[in-house]
């Protein structure tokens, strides 16, 4: 599929992602934050599609938007948020935190201004149609060990989550 | 300009792949409009079929045999007062039905009604469908939370737990079908024949793989394909929250579940989303196991004559429906009160008959029959949905979870492993025999 | 003597309702406006997640003071009121009351009247069980049996209508016998109904008895032992499903039940499934009784000699019959006047409802609905 | 407009990363802090996928591992949150001031 109007879609999706990000950290109500985060995630999935990474985009939608965020919404509903909504939203060190973040941003700007020449101008056009197969070859070939470790990590996480959340085991 | 528009007709690809914006728009309108119409028809059909299961007549008053009942329902829902509970989170309350609707309709983008009859074909097609349809959980959770009431909240928690857990079993069944696309299986008993790099996730590619292998995946490695379809067929009923898995909206326990507080238009959006999701998951099942748009008996009854005979089916179906209409017209009461209804039914039959005649025209016939077979197979699943609803009691929540996690998931994993083992067994044997 | 505290519900209401997560217990209110409570029953449930810790029934929403009304009516005038208690089994209510007063007056109904009474009462038992089956299955989620049973119950109601003009609250019997002679073709109607309904019962069973989901929803749900049933005074199919062979038609025969050949179906496990099976078999036994009664219905008078103004001798009487839901008893105290001094009804639904707490404790919320359905309560009778 | 290059994606990723950092450093609500961490992980993912346009598919494979990690992190984090909320009845991080309870 030929990408159409790349520039327009990039700015649209980037704008949505940033809007979502800003809403996530500013909303009082955690449910609204979660919804904003879903917006960001979906926009990022669109960006992955534009970057010729359809498989990652699909995984992003299924796992992130359909799985992890449902878990978040679940927990938000279980813990009562009314009380948290009435309280102070930002902690006492928020000025310091903001300054640190701004410093980090300045660092990014510095790196990108100085080092933009390092990136090759030309971008590869990886064949989209075999994307899934190539990722599979990497996952079950070069990265097999990492893949197994990841599955172990998930097992540990499942057990950990059950132990944490259950009242009586 | 005209060339640009018509260029698609000569192409051998979906409009999305051809990049033809005009035809993309036309297809979107046709598919979305068609599915909405199908939902309306399904609404009528469900009430009628369910009524006949239960020795009732169903809607009979609005139009002949209640044919106009869906329209009357729609008007009633439109003019009903739109109630938003005072304590509800208004924005989320407003957003939830839209999310469900968008998720359901977006999946239709990649549904292949024919080799070129799809809005577009993406190479992660099935992944895209599963992913987007799983987004409707968000809508349900949001609806339950935003209503700010106990029953919707419990219903939403139940339904999201249910949908998330059945997605896993569903995924396993789907993966086994995807695995089959790369196993061309020309060995003894159709076993073996793994060809590296031929597998696909594309919806059109999956059907084409079945065409190339001369077997629908339901019959492949019998009974593996059949078991996988059975797992999927159960999981998809749970996924769409229909009987006997309609726990989230169990009337006797939770009144109407997550949409208890919704009424009027918003409620009808939920219904539209639910029925569209039913059509979407049914079309996944049809695409993956029942050969998508392929006509039945491609091997046994092959040859030009049979091709011709099968291509007459769409027209014949419409003629049959027209004949049924005319028969009912003749049987309508001869009272003046029924005159308009009788005339309307006759006219409806005439329209159906005309469509049927048009469908016999060779040019139309060739383009329409893919769609016809696809829709017919989906219709079988929709009928099953109604049948389940008339027959089965409802599961209890713990039993539902037990079925999902302890029955369907192990079965799905087993089918997946056995499919893989059967698929590569000759290669494995050769490897074992000859060393490395 | 069993330990009585076991049967008390110990809900500690009045504690503040905490949020979902931090408290182990959640108190929710089911009813009085709830689709599965069969009327206006309110059940307060104490839950741990989905598990029921205890229940408390709040009744009285349909209280009409039927027993008090009796004290201001003559014996004859009160007769129609009893139909309004268990309105799905009005004929049984009337039979119990009429026989109680007859006992008090020392009158015996003539044989033909007794036959008519038995036929109508057993038909009414069928109608009541059909209504129970439909609504019970609907509560569990199977919607089709409801329409099947209502279709067939309609045939019974048609017979009632032809016989006495009313379908639901029939007021079919009078003290001393029956007021109406059977209409032309009554026997034929009843016989053809029996032939018609036999295969229909198989049809209901075909939908449910071996249905996997039905089995999972009913087996092992709401178990109650025979001993607990007796301690709580539970009667009827609920008692018999727990393995106690107690049916007043056999144990303390009334009308002319001894003349008929029928069995008392019993279960072993005392769970919802056994109660379902017992009621289904009971429906078949009722058909057997009706068939025998129609075949040998004698000719003769239908009304015994009863004084126009009834003044029963001073005294008291307790008479009970086997209503579809259990033992329906009438305790009547007469002071020698035309009006009863006191009428006390022992309604089966009310007594059976006591077992709810014991049956659902430790089960899940969805089972509460199944158990309310299987107890077969009618709130008109519970509240009176 | 200028064609979209890798640098565009990197800048967007950096912006999302900084938003996430701000969220983690300034908010009190644990749920929102966890969501901010998701934002940070997503920014990293965007970087990885953008770089995969330059140097091959390894970036995409890595981003899949990152998503796996995110799932594990969310599960355990939310589990801890539930345990915390059950004991303290609050979701504020500043009140996590006991080593054991």
pLDDT digits (tens, 9 = 90+) for C276-330: 999 999 999 999 899 888 888 888 888 888 888 888 888 888 988 988 888 888 9
Nearest CA in chain B to C204: B391
Residues of chain C in contact with residue D86, where contact means CB-CB under 8 angstroms, are 21-22
Mean pLDDT, to the nearest integer, of D34-41? 91
Residue C17 touches chain A, beta carbons under 8 Å: no
- Provide the residue ranges of all domains of chain B, joining segments of one domain with +: 86-312+360-434
Nearest CA in chain B to A65: B135
Least confident of C209-213, C278-282, D39-43: C209-213
d(Cα A56, Cα A69) in Å, to the nearest integer?
A: 17
- C-alpha dihedral (B238, B241, B244, B249), degrees to nearest 10: 150
Residues of chain B in contact with residue A70, where contact means CB-CB under 8 angstroms, are 137-138, 141, 160, 164
Mutation target among A9, A88, A124, A157 for the D interface, most CBs of D within 10 A: A157
Residues of chain A in contact with residue C24, where contact means CB-CB under 8 angstroms, are 167
Q: What is the second-level CATH architecture of the domain A1-86?
A: Up-down Bundle (1.20)
Could you report the per-residue pLDDT of A112-153, keeping only the tens digit for each?
Answer: 888 777 766 666 666 666 778 888 888 888 889 999 999 999
Domains (range + CATH), chain C? 4-58 (no CATH), 66-383 (1.10.645.10)
Cβ burial C342-360 (10 Å sphere, 16+ → b, else e): ebebbbbbbbbbbbbbbbb
Mean pLDDT, to the nearest integer, of B158-182? 85
Say whether the D–B interface has 3 or more Cβ pairs within 8 Å. no
Nearest CA in chain C to A74: C21
- Report which of residues B229 and A74 the model is more confident about: B229
Residues of chain A in contact with residue C48, where contact means CB-CB under 8 angstroms, are none
Given an 8 Å threshold on Cβ–Cβ distance, is A70 in contact with B164? yes
Residue A91 touches chain B, beta carbons under 8 Å: no
Residue B142 touches chain A, beta carbons under 8 Å: yes
Residue A9 touches chain D, beta carbons under 8 Å: no
Could you report the per-residue pLDDT of A8-61, keeping only the tens digit for each?
Answer: 888 888 999 999 999 988 888 888 888 899 999 999 998 888 888 888 888 888
Distance, CA of B377 to chain centre: 9
Burial of B349 (0-12, 13-18, 19+ CB in 10 A): buried
For residue B3, give both structure tokens. 């060339």
Q: Mean pLDDT, chain B, as a whole number?
A: 83
Phi, psi dihedral angles at C45 (to 5 degrees): -110, 135
Are the C-beta atoms of residues D27 and A87 closer than 8 Å to each other? no
Mutation target among A41, A42, A74, A158 for the B interface, most CBs of B within 10 A: A74
pLDDT of residue D42: 92
List, as ranges, residues 200-259 from C with C-beta within 8 Å of A: none
Mutation target among C16, C17, C21, C50 for the A interface, most CBs of A within 10 A: C21
Residue C129's contacts (CB-CB under 8 Å, 6 or more residues apart) are: C279, C280, C282, C283, C286, C324
Residue C47 touches chain B, beta carbons under 8 Å: no
Distance, CA of C268 to chain centre: 21
Residues of chain C in contact with residue D84, where contact means CB-CB under 8 angstroms, are none
pLDDT of residue A152: 93
Could you report the per-residue pLDDT of A62-90, keeping only the tens digit for each?
Answer: 888 888 888 888 888 777 666 666 777 77
Residues of chain B in contact with residue A61, where contact means CB-CB under 8 angstroms, are 128, 131-132, 134-135
The verdict on ipTM greater than 0.85 is: no
Say whether the A–B interface has 3 or more Cβ pairs within 8 Å. yes
Residues of chain C in contact with residue D85, where contact means CB-CB under 8 angstroms, are 21-22
Size of interface A-B (CB pairs under 8 A): 81
Mutation target among A27, A58, A71 for the B interface, most CBs of B within 10 A: A58
CA distance A130 to chain D (A): 11
List, as ranges, residues 243-262 from B with C-beta within 8 Å of C: 243-244, 246, 250-253, 255
d(Cα B241, Cα C190) in Å, to the nearest integer?
A: 44
Q: Mean pLDDT, chain C, as a whole number?
A: 84
Q: How far is CA B263 from CA B75, B85, B177, in A?
A: 13, 11, 40
d(Cα B20, Cα B10) in Å, to the nearest integer?
A: 12
Residues of chain C in contact with residue A82, where contact means CB-CB under 8 angstroms, are none
Residue C22 touches chain D, beta carbons under 8 Å: yes
Residue B270 touches chain A, beta carbons under 8 Å: no
Mean pLDDT, to the nearest integer, of B418-432? 74
Given an 8 Å threshold on Cβ–Cβ distance, is C20 in contact with A167? no
d(Cα D74, Cα B338) in Å, to the nearest integer?
A: 64
Are the C-beta atoms of residues C255 and C99 closer than 8 Å to each other? yes
Of the candidates B16, B124, B141, the beta carbon closest to that of A132 is on B124
Given an 8 Å threshold on Cβ–Cβ distance, is B141 in contact with A73? yes
Could you report the per-residue pLDDT of C330-378, keeping only the tens digit for each?
Answer: 999 988 888 888 889 988 888 888 888 888 888 888 888 888 888 888 8
Nearest CA among C228, C234, C174, C205 for reference residue C358 = C228
Nearest CA among C114, C67, C384 for reference residue C249 = C114
pLDDT of residue B254: 65
Nearest CA in chain A to C49: A167
Could you report the per-residue pLDDT of C135-186, keeping only the tens digit for each?
Answer: 888 888 888 888 889 888 888 998 888 888 888 888 888 888 888 888 888 8
Residues of chain B in contact with residue A31, where contact means CB-CB under 8 angstroms, are 89, 92, 142, 145
List, as ranges, residues 17-56 from D with C-beta within 8 Å of A: 17-29, 31-32, 34-36, 38-39, 42, 45-46, 49-50, 52-54, 56
pLDDT of residue C13: 54
Nearest CA in chain C to A166: C21
Mutation target among B396, B399, B400 for the C interface, most CBs of C within 10 A: B396
For residue B328, give both structure tokens. 């009912």
Of the candidates B89, B123, B137, the beta carbon closest to that of A66 is on B137
pLDDT reading at C20 higher than 50: no
Given an 8 Å threshold on Cβ–Cβ distance, is C24 in contact with A79? no
Given an 8 Å threshold on Cβ–Cβ distance, is C22 in contact with D82? no
Residue D86 touches chain C, beta carbons under 8 Å: yes
Residue D39's contacts (CB-CB under 8 Å, 6 or more residues apart) are: A21, A24, A25, A37, A40, D16, D17, D19, D20, D23
Mean pLDDT, to the nearest integer, of B105-121? 84
Could you report the per-residue pLDDT of C228-268, keeping only the tens digit for each?
Answer: 888 888 888 888 888 888 888 888 888 888 888 888 888 88
Could you report the per-residue pLDDT of B58-97, keeping only the tens digit for each?
Answer: 888 887 888 888 888 888 888 888 888 888 888 888 888 9
pTM for this structure?
A: 0.85
pLDDT reading at B364 higher than 50: yes
Mutation target among B52, B58, B252, B391 for the C interface, most CBs of C within 10 A: B252
Are the C-beta atoms of residues A32 and D30 closer than 8 Å to each other? no
């Amino acid at each position: 599929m030929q990408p159409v109007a790349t520039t327009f879609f990039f700015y649209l999706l980037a704008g949505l992602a940033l809007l979502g990000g800003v809403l996530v950290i500013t909303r009082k109500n955690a449910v609204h934050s979660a919804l904003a985060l879903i917006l960001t995630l979906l926009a990022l999935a669109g960006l992955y599609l534009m970057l010729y990474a359809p498989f990652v985009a699909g995984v992003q939608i299924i796992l992130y938007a359909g799985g992890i965020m449902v878990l978040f919404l679940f927990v938000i509903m279980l813990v009562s948020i009314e009380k948290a909504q009435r309280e102070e939203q930002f902690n006492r060190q928020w000025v310091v935190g903001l300054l640190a973040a701004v410093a980090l941003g300045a660092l990014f700007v510095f790196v990108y201004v100085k080092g933009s020449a390092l990136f090759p101008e030309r971008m590869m056009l990886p064949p989209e149609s075999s994307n899934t197969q190539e990722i599979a070859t990497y996952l079950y070939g070069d990265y097999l060990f990492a893949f197994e470790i990841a599955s172990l990590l998930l097992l540990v996480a499942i057990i950990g989550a059950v132990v944490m959340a259950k009242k009586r085991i | 300009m005209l060339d640009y528009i018509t260029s698609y007709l000569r192409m051998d690809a979906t409009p999305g792949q051809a990049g033809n914006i005009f035809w993309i728009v036309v297809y979107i309108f046709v598919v979305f409009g068609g599915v909405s119409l199908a939902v309306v028809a399904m609404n009528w059909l469900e009430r009628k079929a369910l009524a006949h299961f239960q020795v009732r007549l169903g809607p009979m008053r609005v139009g002949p045999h209640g044919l106009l009942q869906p329209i009357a329902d729609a008007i009633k829902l439109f003019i009903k007062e739109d109630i938003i509970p005072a304590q509800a989170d208004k924005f989320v309350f407003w957003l939830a039905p839209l999310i469900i609707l968008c998720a359901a309709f977006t999946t239709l983008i990649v549904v292949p009604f024919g080799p070129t009859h799809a809005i577009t074909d993406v190479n992660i097609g099935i992944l895209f469908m599963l992913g987007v349809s799983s987004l409707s959980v968000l809508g349900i959770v949001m609806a339950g939370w935003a209503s700010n009431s106990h029953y919707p909240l419990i219903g939403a928690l139940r339904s999201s737990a249910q949908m998330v857990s059945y997605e896993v079993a569903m995924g396993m069944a789907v993966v086994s079908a995807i695995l089959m696309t790369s196993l061309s299986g020309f060995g003894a008993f159709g076993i073996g024949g793994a060809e590296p790099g031929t597998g696909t996730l594309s919806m059109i590619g999956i059907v084409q793989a079945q065409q190339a292998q001369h077997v629908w995946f339901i019959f492949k490695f019998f009974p593996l394909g059949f078991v996988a379809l059975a797992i999927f067929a159960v999981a998809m009923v749970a996924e769409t929250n229909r009987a006997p898995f309609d726990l989230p909206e169990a009337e006797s326990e939770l009144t109407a579940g997550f949409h208890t507080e919704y009424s009027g238009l918003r409620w009808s959006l939920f219904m539209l989303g639910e029925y569209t999701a039913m059509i979407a998951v049914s079309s996944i099942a049809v695409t993956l196991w029942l050969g998508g748009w392929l006509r039945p008996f491609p091997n046994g009854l092959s040859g030009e004559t049979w091709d011709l005979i099968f291509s007459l089916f769409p027209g014949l179906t419409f003629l049959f429906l027209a004949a049924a209409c005319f028969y009912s017209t003749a049987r309508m009461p001869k009272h003046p009160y029924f005159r308009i209804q009788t005339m309307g039914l006759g006219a409806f039959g005439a329209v159906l008959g005309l469509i049927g005649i048009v469908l016999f025209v060779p040019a139309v016939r060739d383009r329409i029959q893919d769609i016809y077979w696809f829709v017919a197979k989906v219709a079988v699943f929709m009928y099953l949905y109604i049948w389940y609803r008339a027959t089965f009691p409802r599961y209890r929540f713990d039993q539902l979870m037990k079925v999902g996690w302890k029955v369907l998931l192990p079965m799905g994993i087993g089918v997946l492993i056995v499919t893989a083992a059967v698929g590569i067994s000759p290669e494995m044997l050769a490897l074992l025999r000859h060393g490395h | 003597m069993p330990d009585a505290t076991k049967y008390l519900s110990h809900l500690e209401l009045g504690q503040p309702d905490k949020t979902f997560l931090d408290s182990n217990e959640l108190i929710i209110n089911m009813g009085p406006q709830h689709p599965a409570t069969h009327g206006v029953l309110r059940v307060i449930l104490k839950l741990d997640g989905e598990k029921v810790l205890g229940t408390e029934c709040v009744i009285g929403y349909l209280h009409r003071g039927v027993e008090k009304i009796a004290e201001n009516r003559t014996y004859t005038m009160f007769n129609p009121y009893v139909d309004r208690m268990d309105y799905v089994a009005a004929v049984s209510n009337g039979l119990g009351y009429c026989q109680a007063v007859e006992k008090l007056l020392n009158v015996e109904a003539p044989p033909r009247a007794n036959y008519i009474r038995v036929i109508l009462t057993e038909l009414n038992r069928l109608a009541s069980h059909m209504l129970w089956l439909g609504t019970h299955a609907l509560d569990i989620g199977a919607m089709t049996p409801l329409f099947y049973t209502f279709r067939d119950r309609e045939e019974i109601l048609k017979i009632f209508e032809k016989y006495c003009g009313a379908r639901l609250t029939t007021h079919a019997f009078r003290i001393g016998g029956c007021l109406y002679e059977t209409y032309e073709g009554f026997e034929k109607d009843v016989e053809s109904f029996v032939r018609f309904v036999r295969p229909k019962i198989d049809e209901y069973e075909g939908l449910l008895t071996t249905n996997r989901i039905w089995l999972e929803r009913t087996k092992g749900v709401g178990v109650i032992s025979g001993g607990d049933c007796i301690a709580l005074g539970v009667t009827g199919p609920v008692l018999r499903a727990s393995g106690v062979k107690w049916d007043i038609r056999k144990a303390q025969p009334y009308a002319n039940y001894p003349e008929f050949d029928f069995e008392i179906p019993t279960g072993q496990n005392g769970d919802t499934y056994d109660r379902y099976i017992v009621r289904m078999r009971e429906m078949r036994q009722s058909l057997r009784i009706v068939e025998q009664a129609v075949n040998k219905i004698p000719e003769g008078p239908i009304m015994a000699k009863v004084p126009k103004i009834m003044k029963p001798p001073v005294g008291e009487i307790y008479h009970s019959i086997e209503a579809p839901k259990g033992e329906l008893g009438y305790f009547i105290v007469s002071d020698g006047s035309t009006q009863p001094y006191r009428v006390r009804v022992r309604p089966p639904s009310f007594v059976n409802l006591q077992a709810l707490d014991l049956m659902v404790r430790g089960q899940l919320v969805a089972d509460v609905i199944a158990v309310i359905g299987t107890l077969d309560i009618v709130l008109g009778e519970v509240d009176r | 407009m200028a064609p979209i290059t890798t640098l565009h994606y990197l800048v967007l990723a950096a912006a999302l990363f900084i938003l996430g950092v701000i969220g983690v450093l300034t908010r009190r609500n644990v749920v929102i802090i966890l969501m901010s961490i998701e934002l940070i992980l997503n920014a990293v993912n965007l970087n990885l996928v953008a770089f995969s346009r330059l140097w091959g598919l390894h970036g995409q494979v890595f981003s899949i591992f990152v998503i796996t990690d995110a799932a594990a992190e969310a599960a355990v984090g939310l589990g801890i949150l539930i345990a915390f909320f059950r004991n303290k009845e609050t979701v504020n991080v500043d009140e996590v001031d006991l080593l054991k309870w």
